C-alpha cells in the first residue's frame, strides 16, 4: 500500500488529509504542520509532526503550502531521491529542490474551509519527471478521484489562468449581482436558480452555444437601459468591456 506524507495545513492540505485518511488503499502515514494544533481535528497526535527531522518514510511526499513557500519547504526536506510533489496550479515542477524526484499533484477545484467537496469529482492534474513516478502518482490519484489527467507545466499554467476566469471572476460576477440586489431590496435568492442553470448549461453545451443576453443579440436599447440604471462608474466600465467582448465573439 502506498505510504503518503502530506506537508501543510491549509485548505487543500486539509481536504487531502481528510480524503487520504479515509482511503482504504492509501496509507497516510503522517502530516506536517508548522503549528501541529492546526491538524489535531483531522489526525491523531502521533501522526502529526512540526519537525522536518522527524518526517516518516513514505513513497510520496505531498507539499501543499502557499506557492511562495514550495521551493523553501522542498529544500528543507532531510532526504533525497524520494518522490516529492506539490499541489499548485501555477508553480513549475522545477521549483521543487532537485535533490528529490519531482512531480505535481494539482487538484483543480475551489476548496473552502466551510464546504465539503466530493473528491471523486475533482480533476487531478499529474506531472512527473519519469514514467515510474508517474505510475505511482497515478495510483495515488485514482484511489481518490475518477478524473485523472496527465498535464504538463505549460498546460497546467493555462488551466490555472482559465480557472481564474471560470471560478474567481465568475464568483465576482455573482458578487456584483448580489450588490445590485442588495441596493434594490431584492433577495439574492431570486438569482440562485439562474446561477445554477448557467453553470449546468455548459456541462452539456459549449459556452459559445450557451451564450444569451443583450450583448449576444446586439440589443443596444437594453444595454443602454442597463448602463443608465447602474450608478457605480467601475461597474459600468465592467458592463461595457464585457459586453464588447461578447460582441467581438459574435463576429
Of 173-202, which residues contact a second copy (CB under 8 A)? Answer: 173-178, 180-181, 183-202
Report phi then psi at 55, rounded to 5.
Answer: -60, 135
Q: Which of the stretches 2-10, 37-45, 96-104, 217-225 binds a second copy when contact is defined by CB under 8 A? A: 217-225
Provide the minimum distance between the beta carbon of 206 and a second copy in the complex, in angstroms, as a whole number. Answer: 7
**C-beta closer to a second copy: residue 1 or 173:** 173
Q: Which of the stretches 44-52, 54-62, 131-139, 205-213 binds a second copy when contact is defined by CB under 8 A? A: 205-213
Task: Tell how strand 26-32 and strand 83-86 pair up.
Answer: unpaired
Residue from the set 94, 167, 218, 250 that interacts with a second copy by CB under 8 A: 167
Residue 109 makes contact with a second copy by CB under 8 A:
yes
Residue from the set 17, 83, 122, 140 that interacts with a second copy by CB under 8 A: 122
Per CB under 8 A, contacts with a second copy among 53-72 are 67-68
CA dist., res. 217 & res. 141, Å (int):
44
Residue 125 makes contact with a second copy by CB under 8 A:
yes
Residue from the set 147, 218, 233, 250 that interacts with a second copy by CB under 8 A: 147
CA dist., res. 63 & res. 44, Å (int):
20
Size of the site for a second copy (CB under 8 A): 94
Q: Which residues of 153-172 are buried (b: 16+ CB within 10 A; e: fewer)?
A: eeebeebbeebeeeeeeeee
Q: How many beta carbons lie within 10 A of that of residue 35, not counting itself?
A: 9
Provide the minimum distance between the beta carbon of 193 and a second copy in the complex, in angstroms, as a whole number. Answer: 5
**C-beta closer to a second copy: residue 139 or 157:** 157
CA dist., res. 61 & res. 218, Å (int):
53
DSSP 16: H
For the sheet with 101-107, list strands across it: 48-49, 26-32, 2-7, 60-63, 83-86, 101-107, 124-128, 148-150
Provide the minimum distance between the beta carbon of 47 and a second copy in the complex, in angstroms, as a whole number. Answer: 28
| DSSP percent split of the chain into helix, strand, coil, nearest 5 | 55, 15, 30
Residue from the set 123, 129, 141, 153 that interacts with a second copy by CB under 8 A: 123
Residue 110 makes contact with a second copy by CB under 8 A:
yes
3-state secondary structure of 110: coil
Residue 250 makes contact with a second copy by CB under 8 A:
no
Q: Which of the stretches 2-10, 14-22, 57-65, 103-111 binds a second copy when contact is defined by CB under 8 A? A: 103-111
* 31, 7 contact by CB (below 8 A): yes
Residue 117 makes contact with a second copy by CB under 8 A:
yes
Residue 116 makes contact with a second copy by CB under 8 A:
no
CA dist., res. 236 & res. 127, Å (int):
42
Amino acid at each position: 500500500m502506498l505510504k503518503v506524507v502530506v506537508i501543510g495545513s491549509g485548505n487543500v492540505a486539509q481536504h487531502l488529509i481528510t480524503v487520504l485518511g479515509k482511503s482504504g488503499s492509501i496509507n497516510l502515514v503522517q502530516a506536517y504542520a508548522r503549528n501541529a494544533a492546526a491538524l489535531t481535528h483531522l489526525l491523531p497526535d502521533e501522526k502529526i509532526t512540526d519537525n522536518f527531522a522527524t518526517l516518516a518514510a513514505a513513497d510520496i511526499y505531498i507539499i501543499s503550502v502557499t506557492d511562495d513557500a514550495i521551493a523553501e519547504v522542498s529544500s528543507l526536506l532531510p532526504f533525497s531521491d524520494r518522490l516529492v510533489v506539490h499541489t499548485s496550479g501555477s508553480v513549475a515542477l522545477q521549483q521543487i529542490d532537485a535533490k528529490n524526484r519531482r512531480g505535481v499533484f494539482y487538484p483543480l477545484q475551489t476548496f473552502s474551509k466551510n464546504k465539503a467537496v466530493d473528491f471523486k469529482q475533482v480533476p487531478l492534474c499529474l506531472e512527473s519527471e519519469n514514467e515510474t513516478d508517474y505510475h505511482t502518482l497515478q495510483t495515488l490519484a485514482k484511489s481518490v478521484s475518477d478524473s485523472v489527467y496527465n498535464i504538463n507545466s505549460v498546460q497546467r499554467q493555462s488551466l490555472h489562468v482559465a480557472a481564474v476566469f471560470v471560478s474567481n471572476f465568475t464568483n465576482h460576477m455573482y458578487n456584483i449581482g448580489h450588490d445590485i440586489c442588495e441596493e434594490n431590496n431584492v433577495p439574492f435568492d431570486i438569482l440562485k436558480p439562474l446561477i445554477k442553470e448557467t453553470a449546468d448549461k455548459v456541462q452539456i453545451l459549449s459556452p459559445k452555444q450557451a451564450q444569451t443576453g443583450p450583448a449576444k443579440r446586439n440589443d443596444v436599447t437594453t444595454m443602454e437601459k442597463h448602463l443608465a440604471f447602474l450608478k457605480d462608474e467601475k461597474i459600468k466600465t465592467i458592463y461595457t468591456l464585457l459586453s464588447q467582448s461578447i460582441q467581438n465573439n459574435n463576429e
